[in-house]
Amino acid sequence: MPIIKTKLSEPQMDITESGTYIIQTAKEITTEKLGYKAIKVTLKSTNSNDENEYATMLWLSDTIPSNSKLGAFVDAFNVFLKDDNAGYDTDNWLNHKIRVKTWRNKQREIEVIS
């Protein structure tokens, strides 16, 4: 039988509607198999009883609608920082608290709280 050459990582959950989170990291990654580029955002719930690790992948594209995953983050930080370009710099996202307003396919919206 073939040996599977992979390793297991700690489980990560995707963010959910109405949840509030603190952004811990936002790193550009490239998938190994197909070479897709994304921003991997890791988050921690603001609920002190929730010890899960959260992560979401924001897929990069030349043009992004504001209701896409990436577009929701960029738009929310542009509004919060009162600068139409600030949301494009992921360093500006770190340690901010967000609330997920809507997190459905093609209907993504978050709000930066602090």
pLDDT at 1 > cutoff 80: no
Question: On the CB side of 64, how many CA atoms lie within 13 Å of its CA?
Answer: 19
Q: By the 8 A CB rule, do 73 and 103 touch?
A: no
What does the domain layout of the chain look like in residue ranges? 20-112
HEC profile of 57-83: EEECCCCCCCCCHHHHHHHHHHHHCCC
Query: How high is the pLDDT of residue 51?
Result: 92
pLDDT digits (tens, 9 = 90+) for 43-97: 999 999 999 999 999 999 999 999 999 999 999 999 999 999 999 999 999 999 9
Q: pLDDT tens-digit profile of 8-30?
A: 877 789 999 999 999 999 999 99
According to DSSP, the β-strands at 53-59 and 107-112 are unpaired
